[in-house]
Amino acid sequence: MDGNYARQPAQKNKAIKQYIYMPKIAEPSRATSFIYKICQPFLRDRLMHLLLIAAILLSFLAPHPPADYPAWVDWNTIATLAGMLLLTKGIEVSGYLEHLGRMIINHLGQQRALALFLVSASALLSTILTNDIALFIVVPLTVGLANIGGLPIGRLVIFETLAVNAGSLLTPIGNPQNILLWQRSHLSFATFTWQMVPLALAVSLILLLVTWLSFPKKTIHAEMEDNPASYKTSLLRTCSLLYIAFLVSVEFGHPGWGLLGVTVAAALLFREVIAKVDWSLILVFILMFIDIHLLTQLDFIQSWVGAIQHFSQLELFLSALLGSQVISNVPATILLVNYSDAYKVIAYGVNAGGFGLAIGSLANIIALRMAPERHLWLRFHLYSFPFLILSGFIAWWLLV
């Protein structure tokens, strides 16, 4: 018995030593975390998964060597979109625009004034930061106002969604379909914008009028908290300068070199922003090009798409407008530009087609998913369908 007691301290010390020297479980490295953040959007992007499944199924129905697929993608458009995503995300992450928005909102004393500001800000931001990024900035600001009693948050989100559709149609960088049309038409930035001014101006004025009538002149008192230390002026300045340089490179027909320069600068100056970009969106557009090409190779589709090049202006416009209601305006654009070079007609049709059904524009779906109210989809269509009809008639009147 004494021998057993004598051995216990030694065994206890041995156990303590084993515990002390037991190797710790390795924590994920910064590199692993960085890669994980980049890959995460690919795991949860249901639209990308759906397009990938469609590509696999269509590849059996319309067999083509996989080596042919890259030739179907408009890589200038993809490079332009990738550069825009990276730089606009940097501007968003800087937090400065949200800071500016909070300051303005805190000084607004009426619900109508607040609505007009949010709608105008959405439209303006969408002309330079794309419609999606504009929503990622404005909608969270709006949802943050939910503590103000009686403020119709859902209605505000609906009008902001309509605003980004109206504003983004103005410039060649406002939305993905315009980026594609800009690259295909080889127009200058200014020329493309000028041809879209009449439609953008008309729809925006109608939207502002409807906003004025839809929100009462009711007194509000907003006090949004703001932390000046949370925004990064240097990041905003750097991304803004790179943004201008990138647009110049695209203007002169070198989006690939522009993207390379932006990527190198981002890796050196603001690497953390790269991991916050939703890169799955790039794959979504690549898959759209592939899916549309495979779809048009099917026998029962070929007879219709082959006739597109012979469409009258009205037939082409209606195909762009109504096609956007069926397959969304970006795929409709990809389909039509392969068979027609009437880019202005297509631009007017697909941009007006962003209204109507929520599927008409990806921006609609993004905004409605960000909204806190579950039953907002039906109410959205009560506003969006009249705008589809109005913008459609205005667009056609301007074309003829």
Whole-number pLDDT of residue 98 = 83
Name the packing angle between helices 153-168 and 111-129 (round to 10°). Answer: 40
Q: What is the pLDDT of residues 314-355, one digit of tens each?
A: 999 999 999 999 999 999 999 999 999 999 999 999 999 999
**Span 226-231, mean pLDDT?**
72
3 state SS of 64: coil
The alpha helices in 215-328, defined as continuous H runs, are 233-251, 255-269, 271-274, 280-296, 299-305, 313-327
Report the percent of the chain where pLDDT is more than 70.
91
Q: What is the pLDDT of residues 154-199, one digit of tens each?
A: 999 999 999 999 999 999 999 999 999 999 999 999 999 999 999 9
Check the CA dihedral 193-196-202-205 and report its sign: negative
Whole-number pLDDT of residue 354 = 95
> What letter does residue 371 receive in the DSSP assignment?
S
Return all residues near 49 (Cβ < 8 A) that are at least 6 apart.
none
**Span 230-255, mean pLDDT?**
92
Name the packing angle between helices 376-399 and 362-370 (round to 10°). Answer: 150
Which of 175, 157, 171, 168 shows the shortest CA–CA distance to 211? 157
Whole-number pLDDT of residue 302 = 82
Q: What is the pLDDT of residues 28-53, one digit of tens each?
A: 566 668 787 888 888 888 889 999 99
> Whose structure tokens read 């989006």?
255
**Span 4-8, mean pLDDT?**
46
Whole-number pLDDT of residue 169 = 96
Q: What is the pLDDT of residues 82-97, one digit of tens each?
A: 999 999 999 989 988 8
Whole-number pLDDT of residue 121 = 95
Whole-number pLDDT of residue 19 = 44
The model carries a pTM of: 0.86
Which of 277, 360, 368, 280 shows the shortest CA–CA distance to 48? 280
Read off the pLDDT band of 22 (50, 70, 90).
very low
